[in-house]
Amino acid sequence: MKKELYLLAGLALSPMVLMAENVCISTAKTSLVVNATEGQELKFVYYGEKLSAEDLKNINNSGLPQFSAYPVYGLNCPGETALAVKHADGNMSLQMEVEKTETRREENAIVTVITMKDKVYPFYVDVCYKTYQDADIIETWTEISHNEKKAVTLNQFASAYLPIRRGNVWFSSLYGSWANEGRLVQEPLEPGMKVIKNKDGVRNSHTAHGEVMFSLDGKPQENSGNVIGAALCYTGNYKLRIDTDDSEYHQFYAGINEENSAYTLEKEETFRTPELALTFSEEGLSGVSRNFHRWARLHKLAHGDKLRKILLNSWEGVYFNINQEGMNQMMADIASMGGELFVMDDGWFGDKYKRNSDNSSLGDWMVDTTKLPKGIEGLIADAEKNGVKFGIWIEPEMANTTSELYEKHPEWILKAPQRDPVLGRGGTQVVLDLGNPEVQDFVFGVVDNLMTKYPKIDYIKWDANMGIMNHGSNYLDKDEQSHMYIEYHRGLKKICQRIRAKYPDLTIQACASGGGRANYGYLPYFDEFWVSDNTDALQRIYMQWGTSYFFPAIAMASHISAAPNHQTFRTIPLKYRIDVAMSGRLGMEIQPKNMTDEEKELCRKAIADYKNIRPVVQFGDIYRLVSPYDRLGVASLMYTSPEKDKAVFYWWKTETFCNQHLPRVKMAGLSPDKMYRIHELNRIDNSPLKFEGQTFSGAFLMSNGLEIPYTHNVDYHKLNDYASRVLYLEAVK
Ligand code: DGJ
């Protein structure tokens, strides 16, 4: 008789090898159950709220159908599959059965590995699950290997599969474009295939995002309802498929996009698919966001436990017009407003070819001494004099054909053999072949040389402004050309790991033509990402709203910029621009010398206040309250401290009509029994709000909310069509 063992991964480590049937992978609030009976196919049983021991024992009798947990192609497979291969003998089928289940501890996480072997071929798939003790996330991926005589071709290699029960399931995903990233799309899942994909090669979150949510019981709600969230942690091309077929389930698959990427797996080589991070919450979409954010801060984001500095970035202030005096002036200005860091953007480098526009010099990472006669040393000295840290922009994965690097190493770029390269930004940009170890050394060297020469550099803005537009690697063999995308990202990962090993304290921003690199594949190496090149505060509300579904405010660079805005040409008052920027990692993207003293004073106060609320914004729990996408004329969200003794509430009017009706916004995430004192930040009104300094119970604030005036009480000449409020709530004894 087979022994039935329940392996409670996440609670205790059971013996290393188990004759397990049901394996329960648990976090504090969730359970995932698979049936791993030896000699049989691995079956998916359950994913959702945490099961009690009693329910777990009886789960097989609950009538739940059992699907293959990792469907493979070849036998009885009319549906979608996760894995499809071609053995050397031409056989295109697989039939996997469970060999063993093992668990191991990895720091404060537990990894469960279920090893499957093909019935006939020495071909193996390990299905892996990783649970953290302190975050409600289960990471799952596979490790594929074989011992066949010759190489096996992997045609399809998803990271994971999850069946989701039908029943008015709504799907939330992000879709956008350059300068319009992170747009939220919500739709019911209907029969047919929904595919979310990326094929850029370099940047993977401009259009689609590799993260999605499933609201299981009808139209998505922010703070109620059962929701599954999934994030594919990968820096490269991905494909997420949801097949709503004739069964009772939506079939969800996620992994690397295999298009033009068939992989030749050599004997004894292991192919590891990227992790799919899964979470489940009974507290709606915001609940899933909070799970992702917590996991990000604790485990996935570089320095997730460190407050971010308030910075000024030079791009929109001066563009390519970098010079020593100009940089010094900007440093003095940001310092005078209370900022802590200055970042010099594009335009500082190039010797033979000077970087005066986007059409040359990438790859030539030497200082342009005509612009900066005192060099980086001079800039660092100025930063020190002004009392701010210094950061610098690079785009190390790229070259221009007009560069010394390209003249020396034309073979280092990605390019189809016998064809002229398709050129990117500026008409001359090309992508370096990161699969080539020599190129990896070069790219690592860009950071290493800067940091060795100028160890006081505190921050690097790492940009990437072109996708892979040419299929061809000079480094890879002709039979391995389909590995190009995968090898690019393996190379990038190796570079990032080397950088992090040598420079663990450096702050690095992932920028990629704006928000092209907001993905958990990047975040272990990067402290934050640039949400978008679009700094228009009104449009940022929409983009930051969507992006906050999966990423915490601490990672979302959000800057106060000029009016009219440089992307939309919209003129938005400074107060509103500040109020939006303060809901993320606050910074500035402006020429301060063009600001009036009054504007600078408003920014100075906002920066001082941001320092006070920074721990709540950057380490707090998000509660989204009114969505801009619901077009109710207002958008609102808040962050609460983990102890619920402090909160910051944001309210932005998104349109203006005379005598309009806006909803009163109920707060969330407070402690009902605590009394909170209200204080408005960034006040511009001539008189304080009615509730300034007043105290209300969390219960009242959450069931009624405060009545926010629709306009600002300012002098006539200051009236405009924007209104916004930031309220700081502090619990009083
Ligand atoms: C694109 C980035 O998103 C911008 O912020 C800026 O750094 C430019 N590149 C510089 O070329």
Would you state the torsion angle of the CA atoms of residues 569, 571, 575, 577, taken in this order, to the nearest 10 degrees? -10
Residue nearest to atom 6 of ligand 1 (CA): 315
pLDDT at 208: 98
- Ligand 1 pocket test, pick from 180, 202, 315 with the greatest ligand atom count within 8 Å of Cβ, gives 315
Does position 15 have pLDDT exceeding 90, yes or no?
Answer: no
Residues 6+ apart with CB under 8 A from 328: 379, 382, 386
Identify the DSSP state of 219.
S
pLDDT at 65: 86
C-alpha 444 to ligand 1 mean position (Å):
20
Q: What is the mean pLDDT of residues 8-23?
A: 50
Does position 1 have pLDDT exceeding 70, yes or no?
Answer: no
Residue nearest to atom 11 of ligand 1 (CA): 346
Does position 11 have pLDDT exceeding 50, yes or no?
Answer: no
Q: What is the mean pLDDT of residues 49-75?
A: 94
C-alpha 513 to ligand 1 mean position (Å):
6
pLDDT at 394: 99
Q: What is the mean pLDDT of residues 249-266?
A: 98
Give backbone dihedrals phi and psi of 577, rounded to 5 degrees, phi first.
-60, -40
Measured between alpha carbons, how far is 124 from 114 in angstroms, rounded to an integer? 10
pLDDT at 7: 43
Return the ligand 1 atom nearest residue 514 CA. Answer: 3
Distances (CA, A) of 496 to 191, 271, 346, 462: 41, 20, 21, 11
Predicted confidence (pLDDT) per residue in 595-618, tens digit: 999 999 999 999 999 999 999 999
Predicted confidence (pLDDT) per residue in 421-435, tens digit: 999 999 999 999 999
Measured between alpha carbons, how far is 489 from 522 in angstroms, rounded to an integer? 10
Measured between alpha carbons, how far is 354 from 362 in angstroms, rounded to an integer? 10
Percentage of the residues of the chain whose pLDDT score is greater than 90: 95
pLDDT at 16: 33
Q: Are strands 227-232 and 276-281 parallel, antiparallel or unpaired?
A: antiparallel
pLDDT at 604: 98
Ligand 1 — pocket residues by CB below 6 A? 315, 345-346, 358, 393, 463, 465, 511, 513-514, 530, 533
C-alpha 322 to ligand 1 mean position (Å):
14
Predicted confidence (pLDDT) per residue in 310-333, tens digit: 999 999 999 999 999 999 999 999
Q: What is the mean pLDDT of residues 67-89?
A: 95
Residue nearest to atom 2 of ligand 1 (CA): 513
Question: Which residue type is seen at 609?
Answer: D
**Token digits of residue 405:** 């690097």
Residue nearest to atom 1 of ligand 1 (CA): 513
Q: What is the mean pLDDT of residues 535-548?
A: 98
Residue of 491, 482, 479 whose CA lies nearest to 432: 491
pLDDT at 78: 86
Percentage of the residues of the chain whose pLDDT score is greater than 70: 97
Does position 18 have pLDDT exceeding 60, yes or no?
Answer: no
- Ligand 1 pocket test, pick from 508, 513, 528, 529 with the greatest ligand atom count within 8 Å of Cβ, gives 513
Distance of CA 5 to the CA centre of its chain: 37
Return the ligand 1 atom nearest residue 358 CA. Answer: 11
358, 398 in Cβ contact below 8 A? no
CATH numbers and ranges of domains, the chain: 4-300 (2.70.98.60), 311-619 (3.20.20.70), 623-732 (2.60.40.1180)
Return the ligand 1 atom nearest residue 319 CA. Answer: 10
Strands (DSSP E) along 206-275, which ranges? Answer: 208-215, 227-232, 238-244, 249-256, 263-265, 271-272
Q: What is the mean pLDDT of residues 528-555?
A: 98
Burial of 485 (0-12, 13-18, 19+ CB in 10 A): buried
Measured between alpha carbons, how far is 345 from 321 in angstroms, rounded to an integer? 10
pLDDT at 452: 98
- Ligand 1 pocket test, pick from 314, 343, 346 with the greatest ligand atom count within 8 Å of Cβ, gives 346
pLDDT at 3: 34
Question: Which residue type is seen at 501?
Answer: A
Does position 515 have pLDDT exceeding 90, yes or no?
Answer: yes
Distances (CA, A) of 669 to 127, 216, 428, 705: 37, 22, 51, 12
C-alpha 575 to ligand 1 mean position (Å):
25
Give backbone dihedrals phi and psi of 616, rounded to 5 degrees, phi first.
-70, -45
**pTM summary value:** 0.97
Strands (DSSP E) along 122-169, which ranges? Answer: 123-132, 135-146, 152-165
C-alpha 650 to ligand 1 mean position (Å):
28
- Ligand 1 pocket test, pick from 393, 509, 558 with the greatest ligand atom count within 8 Å of Cβ, gives 393
**Token digits of residue 702:** 């959450």
151, 265 in Cβ contact below 8 A? yes
Return the ligand 1 atom nearest residue 313 CA. Answer: 5
pLDDT at 344: 99
Residue of 553, 503, 573, 597 whose CA lies nearest to 717: 573
Residue nearest to atom 10 of ligand 1 (CA): 346
C-alpha 359 to ligand 1 mean position (Å):
13
pLDDT at 13: 45
C-alpha 591 to ligand 1 mean position (Å):
16
- Ligand 1 pocket test, pick from 344, 345, 397 with the greatest ligand atom count within 8 Å of Cβ, gives 345
Predicted confidence (pLDDT) per residue in 345-387, tens digit: 999 999 999 999 999 999 999 999 999 999 999 999 999 999 9
The answer to whether the bond into 672 is cis (omega within 30° of 0) is: no
Does position 518 have pLDDT exceeding 80, yes or no?
Answer: yes
Burial state string for 640-651 with b = 16 or more CB within 10 A and e = fewer than 16: bbeebbbbbbbb
Measured between alpha carbons, how far is 67 from 61 in angstroms, rounded to an integer? 15
C-alpha 539 to ligand 1 mean position (Å):
18
Burial of 119 (0-12, 13-18, 19+ CB in 10 A): middle
Give backbone dihedrals phi and psi of 518, rounded to 5 degrees, phi first.
-95, 90
Return the ligand 1 atom nearest residue 589 CA. Answer: 5
302, 504 in Cβ contact below 8 A? no
pLDDT class for 242, splitting at 50, 70, 90? Answer: very high
pLDDT class for 207, splitting at 50, 70, 90? Answer: very high
Helix (H) or strand (E) holding 55: helix 53-58
C-alpha 396 to ligand 1 mean position (Å):
13
**Token digits of residue 99:** 């060999």
pLDDT at 5: 38
pLDDT at 17: 35
Does position 308 have pLDDT exceeding 70, yes or no?
Answer: yes
Q: What is the mean pLDDT of residues 84-112?
A: 96
111, 132 in Cβ contact below 8 A? no
Measured between alpha carbons, how far is 464 from 384 in angstroms, rounded to an integer? 29
Return the ligand 1 atom nearest residue 533 CA. Answer: 3
pLDDT class for 102, splitting at 50, 70, 90? Answer: very high
C-alpha 510 to ligand 1 mean position (Å):
11
Predicted confidence (pLDDT) per residue in 488-500, tens digit: 999 999 999 999 9
- Per-state percent for the chain, helix, strand, coil, to nearest 5: 25, 30, 45
Name the average pLDDT for the chain. Answer: 96
Does position 100 have pLDDT exceeding 70, yes or no?
Answer: yes
Q: What is the mean pLDDT of residues 149-166?
A: 98
- Ligand 1 pocket test, pick from 356, 511, 567 with the greatest ligand atom count within 8 Å of Cβ, gives 511
Measured between alpha carbons, how far is 140 from 135 in angstroms, rounded to an integer? 14
Q: What residues form DSSP beta bridges with 97?
A: 117
C-alpha 316 to ligand 1 mean position (Å):
9
Does position 593 have pLDDT exceeding 90, yes or no?
Answer: yes
pLDDT at 108: 87
Measured between alpha carbons, how far is 384 from 414 in angstroms, rounded to an integer? 41
pLDDT class for 8, splitting at 50, 70, 90? Answer: very low
Does position 54 have pLDDT exceeding 80, yes or no?
Answer: yes
Does position 652 have pLDDT exceeding 70, yes or no?
Answer: yes
